[in-house]
Homo-oligomer: A and B are copies of this chain.
Amino acid sequence: MSFFSRKKRSSSSHAPSAPSLPESYDQRGQTYSTSHQSNYSQQQQQPYYGQGNGGVSSYGYSGFPPGTSPDIIRSFEMVDRDRSGFIDENELQQAISSGYQRFNIRTVRLLMFLFKYPNDSLRCGPKEFAALWSCLGQWRGIFERYDKDRSGKIDLFELRDALYSLGFAIPSSVLQVLISKYDDGSGRRVELNFDSFVECGMMLKGLTEKFKEKDRRHTGTTAFNYDEFMSTIIPFLVSYD
């Protein structure tokens, strides 16, 4: 069964405002693994901009990339009430949340940071919004694929597999630490909803990309000087608050 048919099957039970999986999404990418044997060049997470209309809305949002889906433009317009062409974190939260899935403001901030408008992570323009929406659509598809019992939650092992399919080979020990923050102390097995999945996944994606930027020769090991090390990590700590 193909990935896309799974997505289509499952998406019918969800609210239509959820970002949809871009048709161009290619799952054949390779994973970023640290084992010496494996090829870890991560698949390109290219934002999908579609091939449709020209990305110009009825009231003139010309900032969208050509071919942006009208649904994405409409979602942006709905929250950008002052028609400034930019939205803040609360507006973004509203745009990407829906009846069945509300995003935590922490996740929204992290998304703002990772898809930031050049030099400004407090606002999001049409370009960033379109890229972010498409990315969320990909992740929604992956989440639904690995949520095998359709519970709306995935556990540690499903998370590991889901991230692997997104191109991240994260050791289980690291994931265990990462998901411990979602432990409610009840003693029950920790499971992540889509919001938490996005939060974890985006954090791992962002850090992995930082590592890759330095590891140009794709050896799986790279040198950091102290300034670089601190400058790489600190923004994640701040955005993850």
Chain A interface (Cβ < 8 Å from any Cβ of B): 32-34, 40, 106, 170-171, 173-174, 177-178, 180-181, 203-204, 207-208, 211, 215, 220-227, 229-231, 233-238, 240-241
Q: List the B residue with the shortest CB-CB distance to A185.
A: B122
Asked if residues B227 and A171 are in contact (CB atoms below 8 Å), the reply is: yes
Asked if residues A235 and B171 are in contact (CB atoms below 8 Å), the reply is: no
Interface centre among A171, A233, A236, by most B CB within 10 Å?
A233
Q: Could you say which of B32, B177, B222, B238 contacts A223, with CB atoms under 8 Å apart?
A: B222
Q: How far is the CA of A230 from the CA of B232 in the complex (A)?
A: 12
Protomer copies: 2
Q: List the B residue with the shortest CB-CB distance to A169.
A: B226
Q: What 5 pairs between A and B have smallest CB-CB spacing? A: A34-B226, A221-B225, A34-B227, A223-B223, A181-B238
Asked if residues B223 and A174 are in contact (CB atoms below 8 Å), the reply is: no
Asked if residues A220 and B226 are in contact (CB atoms below 8 Å), the reply is: yes
Interface centre among A204, A230, A235, A241, by most B CB within 10 Å?
A230
Q: How far is the CA of A116 from the CA of B40 in the complex (A)?
A: 34
Asked if residues B181 and A230 are in contact (CB atoms below 8 Å), the reply is: no
What's the least CB distance linking A236 to chain B, in Å?
6
Asked if residues B230 and A225 are in contact (CB atoms below 8 Å), the reply is: no
What's the least CB distance linking A141 to chain B, in Å?
24
Q: How far is the CA of A181 from the CA of B237 in the complex (A)?
A: 10
